[in-house]
């Protein structure tokens, strides 16, 4: 009943009442009015005072009525014209609009209602005319392919976040805008959405440009992974990309993505990265740790921030994970309720980051993974020596002080806080903590590992260590 109500409200009524669908109904031209039918759908809500056995017959009748309408709406959408125009609307507003807009069927002033005809008229017919035209007197050239063009009318402004309006001359050298394209290149640009693999608000394109066959093959593998290998809850272009990089069925294909450009589309912006071999090495080296991060997240505002995706984004952008680690620890210390991860996830982030920051290019470790675990265990041991009745409050106070010291990269303050608290329980500061004075990266790595052990559950830590 609950799922049925959600389907009626969030799917059927949402789509069949949308303006884009309403504009397509005249094109389908069927003896069926979905606007009238969808109004017949009623959500069925039970009240606490209702006795199910007493109202069962009435409920079954209402469900049957809804199912009759739903079946008709599905048949309507699955008809030849229904698929052509309703599915076409979905493609336009969920895929195509990510890469280009403002012209053709995106132009609010267009008079053509059939978007297939509109596309044909706006993009295809000019190509045919251009191919047949005498271009001997054309004095301009396409900035993509160098073909001769008559004028500079076809600019890049219709491309989302990559083109610009030709009237904005400040974007070009000496305010003289001579950037224009031929009708053929413009038609090719409209195919960009077909190259990207989109899932939710994320898009990715792997620019394996050695040859077109390899480019198509790799991007098909990406699309196939998203549609078959990943469940709905964990679908992400980052999951698919990492999955391809970790593919080990045939060893020679393990690094086939090395030095290939990856283009990401997220939050209406493009990000360009070179998938260097050291990055692939890191992804394979920490396959287990990355897999452990899947599903862990925290909430900022109304959005979920998945730790796995944040880690992969930073790696691709060649950015360390210190800021992410600081945030994860801070939320735990502050008892922020909207976090769904534990200290094992934080340790995995630190392990990956330790390898990543070990060398600017070679990514070799300076703090070993065993040393990181030793630091965490030392923090857990210190916590276990505190009196149980004051442990939680005292740990929170110490953690806040240590976090501030790390944030300001103040190694002396960090050590002073440790010395003060260790002497208070007659314990010696572990020798490994002296390595915070090696360099800033080692300081932050060790400090965050110590804080992770400090905020973890003592029983849980001891149980894990015993394993």
Q: How many other β-carbons are positioned within 10 Å of the β-carbon of residue 236?
A: 21
CA gap 372, 351 in Å, rounded: 7
Q: Is 324 exposed, middle or buried (0-12, 13-18, 19+ CB in 10 A)?
A: buried
Q: How many other β-carbons are positioned within 10 Å of the β-carbon of residue 398?
A: 21
pLDDT at 363: 46
pLDDT at 230: 56
Q: Do 271 and 250 touch, CB atoms closer than 8 A? A: no
As a whole number of angstroms, the longest Cα–Cα distance in the chain is 93
CA gap 160, 109 in Å, rounded: 19
CA 92, 224, 308: angle at the middle one, nearest 5? 90
Nearest to 451 by CA among 275, 328, 310: 328
Each residue's pLDDT expressed in tens, for the chain with a length of 467 residues: 889 999 999 999 999 999 989 999 999 987 889 999 999 998 888 887 778 888 888 889 999 999 999 999 999 999 999 999 999 999 999 889 989 999 999 998 999 999 999 999 999 999 999 999 999 999 999 999 999 999 988 988 899 887 666 666 666 666 677 788 999 999 999 999 988 888 777 888 888 877 888 888 888 887 877 766 555 555 677 777 777 676 644 444 444 566 778 888 887 788 888 877 778 888 888 888 988 898 899 988 888 888 998 998 888 888 899 999 999 999 998 877 788 899 899 999 999 998 887 643 344 457 788 889 999 999 999 988 887 777 888 888 999 999 999 999 999 999 999 999 999 888 899 999 998 898 888 899 999 999 999 987 644 444 444 34
Q: Is 272 exposed, middle or buried (0-12, 13-18, 19+ CB in 10 A)?
A: exposed
pLDDT at 464: 45
Give the bridge partners for 304, in sequence order.
Answer: 299
CA gap 77, 313 in Å, rounded: 38
> Which region, left, alpha or beta, applies to residue 426 given φ > 0 means left and ψ of -120 to 50 means alpha?
left
Handedness of CA 395, 401, 403, 409 (dihedral sign): negative
pLDDT at 361: 38
pLDDT at 393: 84
Look at the pTM and tell me if it is higher than 0.85. no
CA gap 262, 244 in Å, rounded: 13
CA gap 344, 289 in Å, rounded: 9
């Amino acid at each position: 009943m609950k799922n049925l109500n959600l389907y009626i409200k969030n799917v059927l009524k949402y789509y069949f009442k949308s303006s884009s669908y309403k504009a397509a109904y005249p094109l389908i031209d069927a003896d069926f009015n979905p606007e009238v039918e969808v109004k017949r759908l009623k959500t069925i809500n039970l009240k606490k005072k209702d006795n199910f056995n007493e109202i069962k017959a009435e409920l079954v009748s209402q469900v049957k009525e809804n199912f009759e309408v739903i079946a008709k709406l599905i048949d309507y959408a699955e008809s030849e014209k229904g698929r052509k125009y309703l599915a076409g609307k979905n493609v336009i507003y969920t895929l195509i609009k990510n890469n280009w807009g403002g012209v053709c069927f995106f132009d609010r002033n267009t008079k053509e209602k059939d978007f297939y005809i509109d596309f044909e008229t706006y993009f295809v017919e000019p190509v045919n005319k251009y191919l047949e035209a005498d271009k001997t007197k054309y004095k301009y050239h396409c900035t993509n392919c160098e073909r001769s063009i008559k004028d500079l009318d076809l600019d890049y402004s219709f491309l989302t976040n990559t083109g610009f309006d030709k009237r904005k001359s400040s974007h070009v050298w000496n305010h003289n805008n001579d950037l224009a394209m031929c009708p053929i290149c413009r038609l090719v640009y409209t195919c960009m959405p077909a190259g990207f693999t989109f899932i939710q608000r994320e898009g990715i394109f792997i620019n394996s440009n050695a040859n077109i066959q390899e480019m198509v093959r790799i991007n098909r593998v990406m699309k196939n992974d998203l549609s078959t290998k990943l469940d709905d809850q964990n679908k992400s272009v980052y999951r698919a990309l990492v999955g391809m990089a970790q593919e080990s069925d045939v060893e020679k294909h393990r690094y086939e993505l090395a030095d290939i450009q990856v283009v990401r589309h997220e939050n209406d912006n493009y990000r360009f990265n070179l998938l260097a071999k050291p990055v692939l090495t890191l992804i394979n080296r920490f396959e287990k740790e990355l897999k452990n991060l899947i599903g862990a997240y925290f909430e900022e505002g109304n959005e979920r921030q998945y730790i796995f995706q944040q880690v992969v984004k930073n790696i691709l952008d060649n950015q360390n994970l210190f800021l992410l680690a600081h945030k994860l620890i801070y939320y735990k210390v502050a008892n922020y309720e909207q976090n769904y991860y534990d200290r094992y996830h934080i340790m995995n982030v630190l392990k990956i980051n330790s390898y990543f920051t070990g060398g600017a290019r070679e990514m070799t470790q300076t703090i070993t993974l065993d040393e990181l675990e030793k630091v965490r265990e030392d923090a857990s041991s210190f916590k276990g020596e505190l009196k149980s009745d004051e442990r939680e409050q005292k740990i929170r106070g110490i953690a806040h002080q240590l976090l501030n010291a790390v944030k300001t990269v103040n190694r002396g303050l960090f050590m002073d806080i440790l010395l003060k608290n260790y002497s208070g329980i007659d314990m010696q500061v572990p020798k490994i903590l002296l390595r915070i004075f090696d360099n800033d990266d080692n300081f932050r790595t060790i400090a965050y590992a110590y804080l992770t052990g400090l905020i973890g559950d003592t029983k849980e830590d001891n149980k894990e260590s015993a394993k």
